[in-house]
């Protein structure tokens, strides 16, 4: 009995050995059959059953292939991938985000690289986000925010980017959307853009490596095209220009239509906030040669300006003044030439009743009523026209005097043009906007109030008046300004001008710079030795003109 049981157990064990052997053979054969002719595993259900040794060998093989391709100047697909070296660029990104007060927050880390053999100084970086950013803390730099753009300048200790080196900057940011749309790096007066939106016409184009946004919020290199008629230096592989922005497609008026006032802001016909940025002529009877389409187009296309102000002096004590013996038909002709040129260019235009020596606008109120009745009827269908009804009341003229005048002239304009923006001057050479904010004109829409500053004279005192007025809900328009003292001459105060532009951009204030002419004074935008009156280039500009151009361009 015992021998019989032993025999049965032996048979069972033998059968099991045979079965195991057959299964092992089949498994080995299956793996062998599952490999393609290159020895690579093509069986999906066991694709993860690769040993560490197999994976290491596979990675090594691929790296060797890519190294070989690189030595040949080819990419991994065997295609030529020659790229020009990048001279200057930035890397922008964050590792993680968190939510707070309904905003997405992150710690943004930025490295700015100098791949040249020389140290560079005085850099600036504009980072443009898809959502409006708010920043509380920044290190290794200073920041300014304008709408969607964070402008970063260096701290005292990292002004220089060493040759072949980099500098680092960082900040804590909150926004509805942290996507980086673009960046612009400014070095030695040139722009190095993260991306360049160029024409779809690539018939005569070359491919350049530039930096653009990747899905993880960082800036990666991509390929773009550059038409040969662009003024770009691509030797470093990144598009450069002389700080000139690409103008928006279409004209300003085509894109934004008739403007109106909402709260303290100008808004376009879609209801979006809009900022008018441009220049004022000097007295058009003294400098009529600058009232022409070519001059205005130069300012529009090269400066990215959208506004021209036509300064028509009322009383000069001689025939240059509309109300002091001037040829009214001839002066009206200059106004019409300016309005026509601006309209054809799709720019906005201010007709400025430029009181100055006459102090009180009521001095020539009958002339004003006749003038504004005529022009508002003539341009009632020109929805790009804005009326400034009294430039700079002064000489002790009170707000009560100005308000009475305005309440006479506004209905004259409204009879013909129901919706045009009307700018009202304010006491003390259009400075006391804080006083006006306590007793504004009521009963009419689209009324704004002028403030004028000359940066070397007007500083915190006037800026505080503007802040008070805005806080009180008064719509303020900087319809005249310059960088020097109130005489229109003297030295340029760049520091005060920068502070003014911070206030302007932080509050979406529209502005017009005095003045488009070559008069031998600091406030003139054109050099006194320039004879250009039509096509105006950067070489024709005074120091004031270059600064204002730079600010209009957003730099």
- Which pLDDT score, from 0 to 100, does residue 207 have? 33
Going by C-alpha positions, the residue among 411, 397, 500 that lies closest to residue 447 is 411
Question: For residue 113, what is the domain's CATH number?
Answer: 2.60.40.290
Q: Are residues 209 and 258 in the same domain?
A: no
On whether both 172 and 311 belong to a single domain, the answer is no
Q: What does the pLDDT average to over 440-453?
A: 99
Q: What is the side-by-side strand order in the sheet with 141-146?
A: 141-146, 149-154, 124-129, 180-187, 190-193
| 351 three-state secondary structure | strand
- Residue where one domain finishes, among candidates 163, 193, 227: 227
Averaged pLDDT score across all residues of the chain: 82
- Confirm whether 409 is domain-assigned: yes
Please give the residue range of the domain that contains residue 320: 252-552
205 and 271 inside one domain: no
Question: What tokens appear for 517 in the block?
Answer: 């002419």
Residue 96 has pLDDT above 70, yes or no: yes
Catalytic pick from 108, 191, 388, 480? Answer: 480
Compute the average pLDDT of residues 174-184: 92
Q: What is the pLDDT of residues 26-73, one digit of tens each?
A: 544 444 444 343 434 433 333 333 333 343 344 444 334 433 433 333
- Exposed, middle or buried: residue 293 (CB in 10 Å: 0-12, 13-18, 19+)? middle
Q: Is residue 194 included in any domain, yes or no?
A: yes
* Predicted local distance difference test score (pLDDT) of residue 541: 98
3-class DSSP assignment, residue 153:
strand
* The last residue of a domain, from among 227, 244, 275: 227
In this prediction, residue 61 carries a pLDDT of 44
Res 509 pLDDT > 70:
yes
Please report the pLDDT score of residue 292 as a whole number.
Answer: 98
C-alpha to C-alpha distances, 489 to 48, 284, 531, nearest whole angstrom: 78, 19, 20
Q: Cβ distance 432 to 400 under 8 Å?
A: no
What average pLDDT score do residues 382-410 get?
98
Residue 95: pLDDT above 80? no
Last residue of one domain, picked from the residues 158, 192, 227: 227
Give the pLDDT of residue 216.
37
In a domain, 497, yes or no: yes
Measured from the Cβ of residue 497, the count of other Cβ atoms closer than 10 Å reads 22
The most confident of the ranges 92-106, 231-245, 282-296 is 282-296
Residue 57 lies in a domain: no
Domain-located, residue 235:
no
Any catalytic annotation for residue 521?
Answer: no
**What average pLDDT does the segment 463-486 reach?**
98
345 pLDDT above the threshold of 80: yes
Task: Give how many domains the chain has, as a whole number.
Answer: 2
CATH number at residue 446: 3.20.20.80
Give me the residues paired with residue 142 across strands: 153
Which range is least confidently modeled, 59-63, 129-133, 495-499?
59-63
Residue 250 predicted with pLDDT over 50:
yes
Q: Is the peptide bond before 294 cis (omega within 30 degrees of 0)?
A: no
Same-domain check for residues 154 and 298: no
Give the H or E element holding residue 108. strand 103-114
Is 486 in the same domain as 342?
yes
> How far, in Å, CA of 425 to CA of 432, rounded?
9
Looking at the fold, whether 449 and 411 belong to one and the same domain comes out as yes
Average pLDDT over residues 18-24: 59
More confident residue, 118 or 249: 118
Query: Would you state the structure tokens that stand for residue 430, as one six-digit string?
Result: 């259009």
Task: Indicate if 372 and 478 belong to the same structural domain.
Answer: yes
> How would residue 233 be classed by pLDDT, with cut points 50, 70 and 90?
very low
Q: For residue 4, is it within any domain?
A: no
Residues 378 and 508 in one domain: yes
For residue 97, is pLDDT > 60?
Answer: yes
Residue 268 pLDDT: 96
Q: Is the pLDDT of residue 303 over 80?
A: yes
Q: What percent of the chain has pLDDT over 90?
A: 62
> For residue 12, is it within any domain?
no
Q: How confident is the model at residue 11 (pLDDT cuts 50, 70, 90)?
A: low
Residue 75 pLDDT exceeds 70: no
Q: Mapping DSSP to helix (H, G, I), strand (E, B) and coil, where does residue 515 land?
A: strand
Q: What share of the chain is helix, strand, coil (3-state, %, to 5)?
A: 30, 25, 40
For residues 231, 235, 236, 238, the Cα torsion angle rounded to the nearest 10 degrees is 30
Q: Does 210 have pLDDT greater than 50?
A: no
pLDDT band at 249, cuts 50/70/90?
Answer: confident
For the cut 70, the answer to whether the pLDDT of residue 343 exceeds it is yes
For 97, phi and psi rounded to 5 degrees? -130, 165
Query: Among all chains, which residue has been given the structure tokens 């925010």?
Result: 145
| Helix 494-506 with 543-552: angle, nearest 10 deg | 20
Residues in Cβ contact with 391 at an 8 Å cutoff, skipping those fewer than 6 apart: 311, 352, 353, 354, 355, 356, 425, 430, 450, 479, 480
Query: Is residue 26 situated within a structural domain?
Result: no
Average pLDDT estimate for 292-307: 98
Tokens 């391709």 appear where? 69
Q: Which of 50-59, 162-171, 172-181, 307-316 has the lowest mean pLDDT?
A: 50-59
Q: Which residue has the higher pLDDT, 268 or 20?
A: 268
Same domain, 372 and 448: yes
The CA distances from residue 188 to 17, 149, 242, 497, 541, in Å, are 82, 21, 10, 21, 19
- Between 144 and 201, name the one with better pLDDT: 144
- 46 against 540, higher pLDDT: 540
- Please tell me the least confidently modeled range out of 29-43, 374-388, 483-497: 29-43
538 pLDDT higher than 90: yes
Say what the pLDDT of residue 475 is.
99
* pLDDT of res. 49: 37
Task: Give the distance from CA 124 to its chain's centroid.
Answer: 14
Task: Identify the helix (H) or strand (E) that includes residue 378.
Answer: helix 365-378
Instruction: Evaluate if residue 18 carries a pLDDT over 80.
Output: no
pLDDT for 329 equals: 98
Q: Which of 196, 240, 388, 392 is the catalytic position?
A: 392
* pLDDT for 200: 32
* Same domain as 284, residue 153: no
* Residue 225 pLDDT level (bands cut at 50, 70, 90): very low
Non-local CB neighbours of 494 within 8 Å, separated by 6+ positions: 483, 547
pLDDT at 489 over 50: yes
91 included as an active-site residue? no
Residues 275, 153 share a domain: no
pLDDT value, residue 25: 53
Q: Are residues 325 and 459 in the same domain?
A: yes
User: pTM above the 0.75 mark?
Assistant: no
- Is the pLDDT at 275 greater than 80? The verdict is yes
For residues 481 and 449, is the Cβ–Cβ distance under 8 A?
Answer: no
């Amino acid at each position: 009995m015992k021998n019989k049981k032993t025999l049965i157990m032996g048979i069972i064990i033998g059968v099991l050995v045979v079965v195991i052997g057959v299964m092992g053979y089949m498994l080995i054969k299956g793996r062998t059959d599952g490999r393609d002719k290159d020895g690579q595993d093509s069986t999906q259900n066991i694709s993860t059953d690769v040993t560490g040794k197999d994976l290491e060998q596979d990675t090594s093989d691929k790296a060797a292939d890519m190294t070989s391709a690189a030595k040949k100047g080819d990419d991994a697909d065997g295609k030529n991938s020659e790229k020009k070296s990048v001279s200057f660029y930035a890397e922008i990104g964050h590792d993680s985000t968190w939510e707070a007060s309904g905003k997405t927050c992150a710690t943004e880390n930025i490295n700015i690289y100098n791949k040249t053999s020389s140290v560079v100084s005085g850099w600036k970086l504009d980072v443009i986000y898809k959502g409006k950013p708010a920043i509380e803390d920044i290190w290794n730099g200073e920041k300014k925010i304008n709408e969607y753009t964070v402008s970063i300048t260096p701290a005292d200790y990292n002004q220089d980017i060493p040759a072949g080196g980099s500098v680092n900057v960082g900040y804590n940011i909150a926004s509805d959307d942290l996507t980086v749309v673009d960046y612009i790096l400014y070095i030695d007066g040139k722009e190095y853009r993260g991306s360049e939106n160029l024409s779809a016409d690539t018939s005569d184009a070359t491919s350049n490596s530039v930096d653009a946004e990747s899905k993880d919020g960082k800036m990666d290199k991509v390929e773009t095209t550059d038409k040969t008629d662009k003024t770009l230096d691509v030797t470093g592989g990144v598009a450069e220009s002389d700080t000139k922005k690409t103008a928006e497609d279409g004209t300003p008026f085509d894109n934004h239509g008739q403007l109106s006032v909402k709260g303290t802001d100008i808004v376009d016909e879609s209801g979006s906030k809009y900022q008018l940025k441009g220049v004022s002529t000097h007295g058009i009877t003294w400098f009529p040669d600058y009232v022409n389409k070519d001059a205005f187009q130069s300012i529009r296309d090269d400066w990215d300006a959208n506004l021209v102000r036509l300064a028509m002096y009322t009383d000069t004590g001689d025939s240059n003044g509309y109300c002091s013996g001037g040829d009214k038909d001839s002066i009206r002709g200059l106004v019409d030439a300016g309005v026509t040129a601006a309209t054809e260019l799709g720019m906005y235009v201010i007709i400025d009743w430029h009181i100055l020596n006459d102090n009180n606008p009521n001095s020539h109120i009958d002339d004003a009523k006749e003038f504004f009745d005529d022009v508002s009827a003539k341009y009632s269908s020109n929805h790009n026209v804005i009326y400034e009804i009294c430039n700079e009341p002064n000489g002790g003229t009170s707000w009560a005097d100005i308000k009475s005048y305005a309440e006479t002239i506004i209905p004259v304009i409204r009879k013909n043009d129901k919706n045009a923006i009307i700018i009202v001057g304010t006491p003390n050479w259009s400075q006391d906007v804080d006083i006006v904010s306590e007793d504004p004109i009521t009963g009419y829409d689209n009324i704004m109030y002028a403030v004028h500053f000359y940066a070397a004279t007007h500083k915190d005192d006037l800026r505080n008046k503007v802040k008070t007025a805005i806080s009180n809900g008064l719509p303020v328009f900087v319809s005249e300004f310059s960088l020097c003292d109130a005489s229109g001459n003297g030295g340029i105060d760049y520091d005060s001008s920068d502070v003014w532009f911070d206030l302007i951009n932080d509050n979406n204030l529209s502005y017009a710079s005095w003045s488009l002419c070559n008069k031998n004074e600091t406030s003139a935008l054109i050099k006194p030795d320039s004879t250009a009156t039509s096509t105006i280039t950067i070489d024709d500009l005074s120091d004031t003109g270059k600064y204002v151009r730079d600010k209009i361009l957003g730099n």
